[in-house]
Amino acid sequence: MTLIETQQDRTDLPLVAIPSVFDDMIEPLREAFPLLDGIARVRMHTDHTFDTHEFVERCAGAQAVIVINVHISDAMLTELAGHVRVLAFGGTGVASYVNLDLAAKLGVRICNVRHYGDAAVAEFAFALMLEITRRVGALDRQLRDGSWDGAPGLDLNGRTLAIVGLGGIGGTVARIANGFGMHVTAWDSGRGDPARFVTHNVAPVPTLTELFAGADVVSVHMPLTDETHGMITSEHLDAMRPGTIFINTARAEVIASGALEKRLARGDIPAGLDVFDTEPLPADSPLRSMPNLVLTPHVAWRSDGANRNLTRQCVESIASYFTGGDYNAVTPGVAWNTGK
């Protein structure tokens, strides 16, 4: 681990701490640092830590923190609020990473990033579908182990893909699915423009139960909010026919607690999961031993293009806060020029 700092001589400027970062985000972040010239100085640790004590220690003296894939507990947030005025998260669904109500009470602004990885997440959803239908990874391991047996696959062409949430990512998934020759259906919250169903060649379905019942593949693309928490229930999951493929690259918490694990335990549907109720996924999780699953460690959002968009938005939100703006603010916090 090394330490990267900017404008070290400008002690009159507020400090931005980046206590934890992935290797592939270091250079995109450095490219965005000029946005803070004359506004704030930066201290970035160039490794990734899940250790909460170490994370908080690395934030010492900072008024702003960029948070990359680290869950901020209530205890951490309360401690950080002694000097941190803004937390910029490298993700969209920040409600699963920090207590927004507590942040508002403590006067800490929470910022997210938006539409930074629509293509990255959509492509990864298809990577999971293709691993389930064509087993490329498993076939690679099989061949390396000396076998030439191969395995039968399934076509996506001609099958029905049901999308839960037709926003930026869901719309990109629909576009890709059309290229595969799939029949695409979707249910959406109704807050967006209804014309996007026509734009993306998607057939609307009025209820989630009907959507799940008519699908060959279900792909979830809803953000986590108070309204969407637990919105997919056991009833919806039970409506899936045996053999239906279930994909979740959104948030695990949009599914009612325990409902998906119970459905998958029946063993009659395969699934590709990139998100989990507890992350990292516990070593004793029953999901790890289910043979009908493809599991990945919440990486759908990580690509070169998404990294550039994400890191720049994080830096822009910090710059905006210190200059009186509200770019990507989820909670208002206290204005920088008024103090606490």
Which of the following is catalytic: 251, 253, 263, 316? Answer: 251
What is the average pLDDT across 263-283?
Answer: 96
Q: What is the pTM for the complete model shown?
A: 0.87
Token digits of residue 281: 């996924």
Interatomic CA distance for residues 338 and 1, integer angstroms: 36
Which of the following is catalytic: 263, 298, 302, 316? Answer: 298
Task: Give pLDDT tens digits for 303-340.
Answer: 999 999 999 999 999 999 999 999 999 999 888 974 44
Token digits of residue 123: 């492509």
Count Cα neighbours of 292 within 13 Å in the Cβ-side half-sphere: 17
**What does DSSP assign to residue 222?**
P
Examine the residue annotation and report whether 200 is marked as an active-site residue of this protein: no
Q: What is the pLDDT of residue 339?
A: 46
- Contact by Cβ (8 Å): 222, 254: yes
Task: Give pLDDT tens digits for 236-254.
Answer: 999 999 999 999 999 999 9
Which of the following is catalytic: 210, 279, 308, 312? Answer: 279
Task: Give pLDDT tens digits for 213-227.
Answer: 999 999 999 998 889
What is the average pLDDT across 107-136?
Answer: 97
Examine the residue annotation and report whether 235 is marked as an active-site residue of this protein: no
Domains in the chain: ranges and CATH:
3-116+303-338 (3.40.50.720), 118-295 (3.40.50.720)
CA 133: distance to chain centroid?
Answer: 24
Count Cα neighbours of 133 within 13 Å in the Cβ-side half-sphere: 17
Q: What is the pLDDT of residue 49?
A: 87
pLDDT beyond 50 at 25: yes
Q: Pick the closest to residue 251 from 144, 96, 49, 113 (CA basis).
A: 96
Using a pLDDT cut of 90, give the percent of the chain over it. 91
Examine the residue annotation and report whether 251 is marked as an active-site residue of this protein: yes
